[in-house]
Amino acid sequence: GKVALVTGGAAGLGSAIAAALLAKGCKVALLDIDEKQGNKMAAEFQQKHEKESCVFYKCDVTNEGQLEAYVQMQSTLYELMGPIRHAKSAPSWCSLCFYCFKNTRSKFGALDILVNNAGIFSEDNWRKMFAINLESVYSGILLGFKYMGKDKGYNGGH
């Protein structure tokens, strides 16, 4: 089976997508800011499917502090994007939880499917909305290239 990572996977559409992937035989990593709901959802999925088929990682897709290593991310950015967009500090759009991608691949041996589902809507806090709904998706795509790319020796991905 394939291995999927689903942002915003603790509830709503994200958990429905995860359930569908698990039903098709995929292994799934759920990422969400809501630790209580994320652990609950992972436990429910583990009861219904194999215990090792689902894992939860707490992740605020807008929080740079949750990156595995600031320096390593800078290196990754430079490797993926070259000198065009390299900067002294990681830009806010590159704040998806780097360690979640690495840990998912380490735990399951691969990463084949990325579902950038995390999102919010708020007229009052449009900056955070932009960071979650757009910047974190772009970050996820960049990390997907790193952890799924055939050019890196992996299977590709979707």
Tens-place pLDDT, residues 10-38: 999 999 999 999 999 999 999 998 999 99
Residue 63's pLDDT is: 64
What type of residue is 126? W
Which CATH number, 3.40.190.10, 3.40.50.720, 3.30.360.10, 3.20.20.140, labels domain 3-152? 3.40.50.720
pLDDT of res. 79: 56
Given a cut of 70, whether residue 145 has pLDDT beyond it is: yes
- Mean pLDDT value across residues 104-110: 89
Residues 147 and 14 sit within 8 Å (Cβ to Cβ): no
Exposed e or buried b per residue across 45-74, where buried means at least 16 C-beta atoms within 10 angstroms of its C-beta: bbeebeeebbbbbbbbbbebebbeeeeebb
pLDDT band, residue 143 (cuts 50/70/90): confident
> Global pTM?
0.69
Provide the residue ranges of all domains of the chain, joining segments of one domain with +: 3-152
